Amino acid sequence: MTVFVCVCVCVCVCVCSLNSRVTMDAAEFRRRGKEMVDFVADYLENIEHRRVYPDVEPGYLRSMIPSEAPLEPESYEDVLKDVDRVIMPGITHWQSPHFHAYFPSASSYPALLADMLCGGLGCIGFTWAASPACTELETVMLDWLGKMLQLPEDFLAGTKGQGGGVIQGTASEATLMALLAARCKAVKCTITLNLWSSPLPQAHSSVERAGLIGGVGIRMVATDEHFSVRAETLEKMVAEDKAAGFIPFFFCATLGTTPSCAFDKITELGPLCNAENIWMHIDAAYAGSSFICPEFRPLLDGVEFADSFNFNPHKWLLVNFDCSAMWVKKRTDLIGAFKLDPHWGIPLGRRFRSLKLWFVFRMYGQSGLQAYIRKHVELAKVFETMVKKDKRFEICAEVVLGLVCFRLKGSDELNEALLKEMTHLGRIHLVPCKLRGRFVLRFAVCGRTTELRHVQENICAGDCLLLYRETVIDRSRLISDPSGTLSPPIGSRSPSCLSITLRYHSPTIGGSRVLQMFTIFRCVKLCSVFLDVGT
- With a cut of 90, say whether residue 394 has pLDDT above it: yes
**Could you give the 3-state DSSP secondary structure of residue 248?**
strand
- With a cut of 50, say whether residue 9 has pLDDT above it: no
What is the per-residue pLDDT for 30? 94
465-492: per-residue pLDDT in tens?
Answer: 555 555 444 433 333 333 333 333 323 3
The residues, any chain, with a CB within 8 Å of residue 275's CB and separated by 6 or more, are none
CB atoms within 10 A of CB 426: 16
Cβ atoms of 50 and 93 closer than 8 Å: yes
- Between CA 264 and CA 372, with CA 378 as vertex, the angle to 5 degrees is 90
Q: Is the dihedral of CA 314, 98, 369, 226 positive or negative?
A: negative
278-320: per-residue pLDDT in tens?
Answer: 999 999 999 999 999 999 999 999 999 999 999 999 999 999 9
35-85: per-residue pLDDT in tens?
Answer: 999 999 999 999 999 999 999 999 999 999 999 999 999 999 999 999 999
What is the per-residue pLDDT for 337? 63
Per residue, what are the HEC states of 113-178?
Answer: HHHHHHHHHCCCCCCCCCCHHHHHHHHHHHHHHHHHCCCCHHHCCCCCCCCEEEEECCHHHHHHHH
Does 3 or 533 have the greater pLDDT score? Answer: 3
Task: Please tell me whether the overall predicted TM-score, pTM, comes out greater than 0.85 for this model.
Answer: no
- With a cut of 50, say whether residue 493 has pLDDT above it: no
Q: Tell me what percent of the residues of the chain surpass a pLDDT of 70.
A: 75
420-470: per-residue pLDDT in tens?
Answer: 988 888 889 999 999 999 999 999 999 999 999 898 887 765 655 555 555
- With a cut of 50, say whether residue 524 has pLDDT above it: no
Q: Tell me what percent of the residues of the chain surpass a pLDDT of 90.
A: 54
What is the per-residue pLDDT for 98? 93
Per this entry, what is the length of the chain? Answer: 535
Peptide bond into 322 cis (omega under 30): yes
Does 101 or 503 have the greater pLDDT score? Answer: 101
Tell me the β-bridge partners of 324. Answer: 168
